[in-house]
Amino acid sequence: MKTTEQENKLKLIYTIFCDDVRLEAGNKLSLMGVFQNIMVQQLPVSLIKFAVVNHWQGEGTHLSEVRILSPDKRQPVVVSQPTRFEVASGGFADNISFFVNVTFPEPGQYWVQTLIDSTLFDEQPLTVIDVRSAQGPEAASEAVN
């Protein structure tokens, strides 16, 4: 997934899914509605606002793109506009992709992919669950850790 040059210059520290992100005094980020799964009573479901927060370490100027793919990875659900960001040598940077009116038509494990300089860098699962048809605790974790 990652090229050797990308691995040496850029490291993805974490990816967080949430409802909204606000920039506070002191350059602090406030994340609202952090989640790992989407549990709904009815499908399809549309999320009015949805954010993907990527925290990077390394150096250099890079072009980031985030896309969410269907469970079979064949259809994009939504794709962000490419965004340029810079990480000072030895520093950190946050890259936030906002999406509006994202519709998930069916339950399943969707894929949130992060591309750097047009190359797939990382992917994280995002499970959409119809709670009416979910069976047992293995369907998804509701725990907050």
Which pLDDT score is estimated for 137?
47
The enclosing domain of 107 has a CATH number of: 2.60.40.1930
**Residue 27 corresponds to which tokens in the numbers above?**
């350059």
User: Considering the domain boundaries, does residue 125 fall inside one?
Assistant: yes
User: Considering the domain boundaries, does residue 142 fall inside one?
Assistant: no
User: Considering the domain boundaries, does residue 108 fall inside one?
Assistant: yes
Whole-number percent of the chain with pLDDT over 90: 81
**What does the buried/exposed string (b/e) look like for 57-79 if buried means 16 or more CB atoms within 10 Å of the residue's CB?**
ebbbebebbbbbbbbeeeeebbe
CA 24 vs. chain centroid, Å, equals 21
User: Considering the domain boundaries, does residue 53 fall inside one?
Assistant: yes
Q: Per-residue pLDDT for 140 more than 60?
A: no
Give the helix/strand (H/E) hosting 7: helix 4-9
Q: How far apart are CA 30 and CA 57, in angstroms?
A: 20
* Average per-residue pLDDT for the chain: 89
pTM given for the model: 0.85
Note the pLDDT tens digit of each residue in 69-108: 999 999 999 999 999 999 998 899 999 999 999 999 999 9
Within 10 Å of residue 45's Cβ, how many Cβ atoms? Answer: 17
Q: How far apart are CA 113 and CA 121, in angstroms?
A: 8
User: Considering the domain boundaries, does residue 143 fall inside one?
Assistant: no
Host domain of residue 53: 4-134
User: Considering the domain boundaries, does residue 47 fall inside one?
Assistant: yes
User: Considering the domain boundaries, does residue 141 fall inside one?
Assistant: no
Note the pLDDT tens digit of each residue in 7-66: 458 999 999 999 999 999 998 999 999 999 999 999 999 999 999 999 999 999 999 999
* Residue 6 phi, psi dihedral angles, 5° rounding: -65, -45
* Residue 9 phi, psi dihedral angles, 5° rounding: -105, -15
Provide the domain count of the chain.
1
